[in-house]
């Protein structure tokens, strides 16, 4: 009886190992296929967060989010500097080491050579908008790149009403 029980336990352990290993490889393969599909469709990996509205891609290109502005890390006022840090952290949570899709408006680059883009995650999250909705960014038009400015302004108004982020300071 004990021999049979020992054999059954060994068999179940091996079977469980095979199931778990198979599942792991299936997940890895699926993830690999998804990553490949995303890359084929223009998604690029974010490798660095400069601040709340600027990122660096795996290509080395800097991208400045269009239509928004976050507080500056270099600001001397402690409260503003803290908000700038929070905006950078939120931006990092959204996009760091993730694949993003870029959308151009009218302008290619700004005076600093950064790409000017709207940024999206694979799940459809509109990063520029999310930063405004959560109160980490102001809706700031930079003509001629104003395609989503009404959307950003509406989100800013809602963030202000609900005292989110920068709008929660007294």
For the chain, what is the HEC assignment?
A: CHHHHHHHHHHHHHHHHHHHHHHHHHHHHHHHHHHHHHHHCCCEEEEEEEECCEEEECCCCEEEECCEECCCCCCCCHHHHHHHHHHHHHHHHHHCCCEEEEECCCCCECCCCCEEEEEECCCCCEHHHHHHHCCCCEECCECCECCCHHHHHHHHHHHHHCCCHHHHCC
- Which residues are known to be catalytic? 64, 72, 114
């Amino acid at each position: 009886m004990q021999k049979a029980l020992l054999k059954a336990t060994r068999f179940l352990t091996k079977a469980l190992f095979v199931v778990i290993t198979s599942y792991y490889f299936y997940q890895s393969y699926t993830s690999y296929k998804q990553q490949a599909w995303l890359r084929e469709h223009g998604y690029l990996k974010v490798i660095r967060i400069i601040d709340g509205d600027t990122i660096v891609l795996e290509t080395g290109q800097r991208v400045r989010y269009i239509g928004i502005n976050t507080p500056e890390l270099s600001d001397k006022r402690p409260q503003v500097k803290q908000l700038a840090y929070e905006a950078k952290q939120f931006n990092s949570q959204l996009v760091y080491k993730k694949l993003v899709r870029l959308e151009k408006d009218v302008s290619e680059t700004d005076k600093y050579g950064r790409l000017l883009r709207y940024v999206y995650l694979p799940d459809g999250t509109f990063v520029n908008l999310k930063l405004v909705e959560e109160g980490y960014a102001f809706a700031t038009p930079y003509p001629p790149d104003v395609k989503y400015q009404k959307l950003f302004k509406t989100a800013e108004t809602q963030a202000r009403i609900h005292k989110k982020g920068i709008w929660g300071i007294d």
